[in-house]
Amino acid sequence: MGLSSDRRGNESRLAAYVEGLTRALGHADRAGPFRSYCVGLLLPGDRKSVEPMAACVAPERAQAAHQSLHHFIAKAEWSDDAVLTAVRSHVLPVMQRHGKIRGWMIDDTGVPKKGTHSVGVARQYCGRLGKQDNCQVAVTLSVAGDNASLPIAHRLYLPQAWADDPARRTRAGVPNDVAFLTKPQIALAQIRAALEAGVPPAPVLADAGYGVDTDLRDGITELGLRYIVGIQSSASLWPPGAGPLPPKPWSGRGRPPSLLQRTAEHQPLAAKQVATTLPRRGWRKVTWREGSNAPLASRFAALRVRAAHRDYWRATPRPEEWLLIEWPASEPEPTKYWLATLPETTTLRVLVNLAKLRWRIERDYQDLKQELGLGHYEGRGWRGFHHHATLCIAAYGLLVAERAAIPPSAEWRPPSLPAPALPESYRPRGAADPA
C-alpha cells in the first residue's frame, strides 16, 4: 500500500512538473514525447539514448515510440532556453527555501566520442578521461546554495576547425549565427544572459581553466559581479604594498606619457613566489565541510595583491583583490591558488568556504551522467545534442526540487517510477537474432 501510494505521489508530482514546463515547448502535441523522454531519463537503465528509452516507456509499441522521441529530440524546433528558464523558475524557489544562492559556477564537461561526424567532436582535453582525446565539450553555468545546485545553461563548444567548415556545419545543423567562441567567452555570455533573466546574483566561481583568462575576470567585474576563480602558480602578481611604476615624466614635447612602467629591478612575482615567501604565521588551518569519512580541512593563507597581466598597457594599476592559497601540511609546496574580488573585510573562512563550493558542480555532473545519461545521446546534430542536454537538466531539476522539499532531518529517496517490462519479442537494432 505504501509503495503504491509513493508511486502515485511521484507520478502526480512528475505530471505537475511536466505540465508546468510544457508551455515552454510551443505546441501542446509535444507534451507526450516530452513526458516520455523525461520518464525514460528517470527510469533505471544502463543506456539513456532514444531507442532503449522508447522500449522502456512504451514496450508494446517501441518502434513508433522510437520515431516519436527521435523526431522530438533531433528535429522539433523548440527552444532550449525557454525550457531551461521554466526549469529554473520551478526549481530555484524550492532551493531558496533553505537559503540564498551563494555562487554561480562556471565549468565544462566532456563526452568521449568515436569518429569525427558528431557535432563539435575534436581531439581536445576531456575531464572525464583526464587527457586529450576525441570528445565533445560543453560549457555550463550552475547556481548553488548550501544544500543544492542546478545547471541553468549548457552550450556546446564548437572548435575553430568546425566553426570555419561550412560543409560540416551544414551536415550537423549548426545555426548560422553560431560563430567560434572560446570557452571563457561562452561562459561570459551565459553569465550575461543569466543576469538579464533576473537570476539572483552571486559570486562567480571557476577553476584555473577559466580563472587565468583576464578578459573573463574583467568581464565579470564589468557586469557588476564578484568572483573567486582559480589561477595557475605562474600567474603574475604584485605582492602587498607593491605595484607598477607611474608613467614616465613628461619631457615637455609631444603627448604626455600615460602608461604604467616596469624596470629590470621592479617586476611582479609569480603567485608561487608570493606564497613561498609568506611566514609560517601567515597560514591557518580551515575546515570547510564534512567529508564522507572525516571533516575536510587544509592550510590556507589570504593576502591583498594586484593582478599584473599586461598592466604596462594600462594607465592605472589594477585594483587590489584577494589571493587565496592552499598549502596542505603534507605537500612540499602550495597546491591551489585563487583570485577573489570579495570585499576587503571578507574573512579567511568565508573565502575558503566559497572557493570550495565548486564541489557541487562535480556532484551535478556525476548525477547527470551516471543517473540521467547526459553523455548517452547518439545523434550527430547540434539541435539534438542541446535538446538532449536540456531534458537531462529538466529531469535533474525534478530530482533537485524533490530533494530540496524534504526536511533536512528526513531521509531522501529518489522518485520511484514503475518501469514497464519489455516484451519477449523486443530486440534492439543491431542485436543478433536469437534464432
Collapsed DSSP state (helix, strand, coil) of residue 326: strand
- At 132 the pLDDT is 87
Q: What is the DSSP letter of 327?
A: -
The pTM score is: 0.89
State how far the alpha carbon of 341 is from the alpha carbons of 314, 334, 349, 359, 435, in Å: 19, 21, 15, 20, 68
114 within some domain? yes
- At 2 the pLDDT is 44
Would you tell me how many other CB atoms lie within 10 Å of the CB of residue 291?
A: 11
Could you tell me whether strands 236-238 and 269-270 are parallel, antiparallel, or unpaired per DSSP bridges? Answer: antiparallel
Q: With CA atoms as reference, report the closest residue to 104 among 214, 194, 223.
A: 194
200 within some domain? yes
C-alpha cell at 362: 562535480
* Number of residues written out for the chain: 435
Tally of structural domains, the chain: 1
- At 361 the pLDDT is 87
Q: Print burial letters for 377-393: b (CB count within 10 Å at least 16), e (below 16).
A: bebbbbbbbbbbbbbbb
83 within some domain? yes
Residue labelled with grid coordinates 566520442: 113
274 within some domain? no
275 within some domain? no
The residue range of the domain holding 383 is 2-207+362-405
Q: With CA atoms as reference, report the closest residue to 69 among 32, 104, 98.
A: 32
296 within some domain? no
- At 3 the pLDDT is 44
- At 415 the pLDDT is 54
As averages over each run of 10 residues, the pLDDT of the chain (435 residues) reads 52 78 83 88 85 84 87 93 94 90 95 88 85 92 91 96 95 95 98 97 96 97 98 96 90 84 93 95 93 89 96 92 97 97 97 93 87 89 95 92 62 50 52 48
139 within some domain? yes
- At 424 the pLDDT is 56
- At 409 the pLDDT is 41
345 within some domain? no
Residue 246 near residue 260 (C-beta atoms within 8 A): yes
Collapsed DSSP state (helix, strand, coil) of residue 150: strand
Amino acid at 391: L
- At 27 the pLDDT is 78
